[in-house]
DNA sequence: GAGTGGTCTAGACCACCGG
DNA sequence: CGGTGGTCTAGACCACTCA
């Protein structure tokens, strides 16, 4: 046990009062100014504490309306989206990858649509198999817009660096979205990953953008046993 | 387009310099004091901007060592862990649930171990099926420690509120962990969800604690098609 | 030892928005 | 209108850690 100091102590005390139902869900808690006086600290310190609680979803804050205890404590979990190589090596396993395909082609309409590109636009299509200790670990299917790339082309097949690592080092993205789902393995995926068709795969789909320009859409299918973990 | 003011403008400018490779990955950027002078703002304003970038994983900060551009931009995604009822209703669907089982029993050793309880401890075991528009949506299998519960027992089977909602309103937890994976549906799950055994299920496992006291371990198996989505 | 980020203070002005 | 949170300032002290 260690007693927090400063704004963390304020946060802890406010949390404790919420937990004890001193301040019930939906209720308005005292204003920053009042709390600052009660705790004998500057308002900025209270503000920092309450801002953190708001970011965690414990309270909701609005000008004039004040700070309320969240009625439905939507807990927020922060996931680290790792670079595959570091994820594998972080478990003490040997990382390798093999580029299966690298072609310049027109994507299916659904892909073009997701990236907001005109039908008929041509993209790089890259398929990569990643290994952990020599065993298939992750099947990656990526569409890559040449426009924002230096040299307008991804690294050659012989490159020693994976597409993703090359991307994060060479093309800065400003935002994106990510989704997680479970899907049954298709024939091709199953063959690459060395599993039976229909097996349950953990799938991450991600799109990234640099301003208005789409960079990439990637589908990551993890071999059975993969688990994404984080603390609340 | 709108030009950000204040600390957001600082953050944007720093991000832009990183994107332009003015400041390369791994490089140390100027100190807060220097940036404050350059931008003509107080150091606290620069601090706020850099703190946000650090939270996003764009830069890494250490006392004395200064602020560095992250070499491996581990992007962090913030997931909202929703209450099932709100998640379903938020899509405009009708929510229902049915409590399948509510017994007081000794859990399997693996469950007791995960919760840090002695073998032989007895817990509530609750199995619930959740529906969206009348169709099976989520199969929930929960072990619940009676110790931290008001009345030492969960609500009766006839209750109109789901176990999870009752929990978040009546038992405050201080921390927990959560994991996401894909698993093949077992016989029982498949029957409840109305799908074929072996189908790919998205599974969330969560444990929560109130200080040193374990509260619950729950396994949520979502019907095929479920997708967790967030922005980066 | 010295430079960096981490935090706090006391005060101020502003944007928002409920009554 | 007036109260609330959002932010900024100028200054200060502290904690950490590198050289």
According to the model, what pLDDT value does residue A1 have?
46
Is A202 found in the same domain as A114?
yes
Residue A78 lies in a domain: no
Kindly give the residue spans of alpha helices, DSSP state H, lying in A91-228. Answer: 109-115, 163-170, 187-193
> Nearest residue on chain A to B201, judged by CA atoms?
A182
Is residue A31 a part of any domain in this protein? yes
The last residue of a domain, from among A69, A93, A113: A69
What is the mean predicted confidence (pLDDT) over A104-112? 93
**Strands A66-69 vs A75-81: parallel, antiparallel or unpaired:** unpaired
How many other CB atoms are there within 10 angstroms of residue B8's CB atom? 14
> Could you count the other beta carbons within 10 Å of the beta carbon of residue B27?
14
pLDDT for res A163:
81
Q: Which domain holds residue A111?
A: 84-222
- The nucleotide whose C1' lies nearest the CA of A40 is C9
| CB-strand contact A66/C, under 7 Å | no
Residues B26 and B113 in one domain: no
At residue B1, the pLDDT reads 47
Query: A155 and A120 in one domain?
Result: yes
Confidence band of A30 (pLDDT split at 50, 70, 90):
very high
Residues 120-159/B with CB within 7 Å of nucleic chain C are none
Is A61 near strand C, with its CB below 7 A from some atom of it?
A: no
In this structure, what DSSP letter does residue A108 have?
A: P
Distance CA B177, CA B156 (A): 27
Pair B213, B123 in one domain: yes
pLDDT confidence of residue A98 = 93
Q: Mean per-residue pLDDT for A143-150?
A: 86
Same domain, B61 and B88: no
Q: Summarize pLDDT for B38-91 with one digit per residue, the tens.
A: 999 999 999 999 999 998 888 999 888 899 988 776 677 878 787 888 889 888
- Do B175 and B91 belong together in one domain? yes
Place of tokens 């992250």: B70
Structural domain count of chain B: 2
Domain presence at residue B147: yes
- The answer as to whether B144 is a domain residue is yes
Asked if B201's CB is within 8 angstroms of A175's CB, the reply is: no
Q: Where are the alpha helices (DSSP H) in chain B?
A: 7-19, 32-39, 43-55, 84-90, 109-115, 163-170, 187-193
Q: How much helix, strand and coil, in percent to the nearest 5, is found in chain A?
A: 30, 35, 35
Based on the fold, state whether residues A109 and A162 are members of the same structural domain: yes
Nearest C-alpha in A relative to B48: A48
Same domain? A115 vs A39: no
Tokens of A124: 């790089």
Q: Compute the nearest-CA separation of B158 from chain A (Å).
A: 22
| Residue A126 CA to its chain's centroid (Å) | 21
Write out residues whose CB is closer than 7 A to strand D.
Answer: A 31-33, 43-44, 47, 50-51, 54, 61-67; B 5-8, 40-45, 48, 62-65
Report the pLDDT averaged over residues A128-144.
95
Question: Are A104 and A197 members of one domain?
Answer: yes
A176 neighbourhood in chain B, CB within 8 Å? 231-232
Chain A residues touching B76 at Cβ < 8 A: 78-81
CATH number of the structural domain spanning residue B50:
1.10.10.10
The residue ranking higher by pLDDT, B151 or A61, is: A61
Q: What is the pLDDT of residue B174?
A: 67
CB B206 within 8 Å of CB B178: yes
Query: Is A218 found in the same domain as A192?
Result: yes
Q: To the nearest 5 percent, what fractions of chain B are helix, strand and coil?
A: 30, 35, 35
Angstroms from A84 CA to nearest CA on chain B? 11
For chain B, residues with pLDDT lower than 50 are: 1
Query: What pLDDT is stored for residue A97 in this prediction?
Result: 93
Q: Is residue B74 part of a domain?
A: no
């Amino acid at each position: 046990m260690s007693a927090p100091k400063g704004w963390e102590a304020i946060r802890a005390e406010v949390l404790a009062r919420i937990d004890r139902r001193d301040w019930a869900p939906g209720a308005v808690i005292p204003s920053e100014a009042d709390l600052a006086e009660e705790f004998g600290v500057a308002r900025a310190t209270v503000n920092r504490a309450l801002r953190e609680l708001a970011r965690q979803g414990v309270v909701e804050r609005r000008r004039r309306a004040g700070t309320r205890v969240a009625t439905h404590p939507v807990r927020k979990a922060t996931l680290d989206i790792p670079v595959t190589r570091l994820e594998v090596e972080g478990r003490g396993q040997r990382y390798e990858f093999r580029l299966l395909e690298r072609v310049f082609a027109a994507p299916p309409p659904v892909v073009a649509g997701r990236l907001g590109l005109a039908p008929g636009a041509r993209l790089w299509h890259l398929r990569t198999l990643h290994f952990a200790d020599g065993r298939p670990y992750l099947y990656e299917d990526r569409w890559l817009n040449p426009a924002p790339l230096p040299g307008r082309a991804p690294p050659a097949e012989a490159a020693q660096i994976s597409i993703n690592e090359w991307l994060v080092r060479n093309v800065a993205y400003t935002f994106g979205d990510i989704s997680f789902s479970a899907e049954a393995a298709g024939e091709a995926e199953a063959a690459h990953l060395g599993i039976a068709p229909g097996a349950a795969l953990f799938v991450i789909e991600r799109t990234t953008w640099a301003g208005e320009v789409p960079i990439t859409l990637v589908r990551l299918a993890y071999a059975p046993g993969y688990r994404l973990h984080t603390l609340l």
